[in-house]
A = this chain, B = another copy of it.
Amino acid sequence: MTTDTILNVALTTKANVYFDGKCVSHGFTLADGTKKSVGVVLPATLTFNTGAPEIMECVGGACEYKLAGTDAWVASSVGESFKVPGNSSFEIRVTEAYHYICHFG
């Protein structure tokens, strides 16, 4: 099951632009105060650092990711999620636009 729509959110209107636009996201807050973002990674290989732990939920396209300290590239596609520990990093390799929801914490 893919999360196509998220109801009742407060949407931040200004985008977050990373790596000269290879990744763009918009932040939002749920009614209970939880902060998340929706975004897209365009074809590229990028490295993201994490503060809080993150769960990357794929809502379109696909990617491969490699968690810090591992050697394996793992595929993730629509409906699938992967966890990234806090204070860590992950590499992401994208050939077709990867659309995601980022759940923090």
- Chain A interface residues toward B at CB < 8 A: 2-15, 17, 20-22, 24, 26, 28, 38-40, 42, 59-60, 97, 99, 101
Contacts and interface: CB of A to CB of B under 8 A. Distances in A.
Q: How many copies does the complex hold?
A: 2
B4 A14 contact: yes
Nearest to A22: B21
A28 B2 CA distance: 17
B15 A24 contact: yes
Contacts of A9: 8-11
Given A6-B13, A24-B24, A24-B40, 10 more contacts: A5-B10, A5-B12, A11-B26, A14-B40, A14-B99, A15-B24, A15-B38, A17-B42, A21-B42, A21-B97
